[in-house]
Amino acid sequence: MITGASSGIGQAVASHFHGEGANLLLTGRRPELPGNQPDALHLAGDLNDESFVSGLAARASDHLGDVEWSSSAMDFQTSSPLEEMTYDSARDVLHGNLLSAFLAMKHLMPLAPESGASMVCVSSRLGMVNQTLYSPAKGGLIALARGAAMEWATRNIRVNVVAPGLTATPVIEASFQRRPDPAAYRRTRAQGSARRWSARPRGHRAMTFRRYS
């Protein structure tokens, strides 16, 4: 089960597991999946809608039986000075990054088999630095995963977090192109990252739970 599978890192994760022959249930905001994954079941919808997530879990039970692995790769970002940010924008950032993961955990992890399961949440390096609202949302995701890991340890459910740095997804690329000098802005953003470069979505191969366990 992979959320946020219609773009960016979530799309790369879905492609990776599809290549390994996994039986997949994918979801994202976009009505159609990019690429060719004819064997995967794709259900488009909003993970902040609990009725949709509840229905998603029911379809997961029918399609997969047990859910042995789940990835939460939803992401929503907005940037503005704190005093200029609207309440609606702040709410959307928290809902899109944190509460969507909460709903996925709440409804999908009861489908874990007795042998255990793994859930991987995609946070961000910015969850540990100061970027107004986005950092609290991604930092909150780290805390949520830590709490869930402790709560579900007796059920052998592993909950882990990966925190990628700057990743050149289509959304990020589009934001570069809106700048007066895209190449210069790209260099500035890359220099501000820990490794001084921007990764490609498929570059985060360590996202599989076999390493983050």
Per-residue model confidence (pLDDT) at position 207: 37
pTM value is 0.71
pLDDT digits (tens, 9 = 90+) for 25-69: 888 777 776 665 667 788 888 888 999 999 988 988 887 787 777
Say how many CA atoms lie within 13 Å of 86 toward its Cβ: 3
Residue 191: exposure state from Cβ atoms within 10 A (0-12, 13-18, ≥19): exposed
More confident residue, 116 or 201: 116
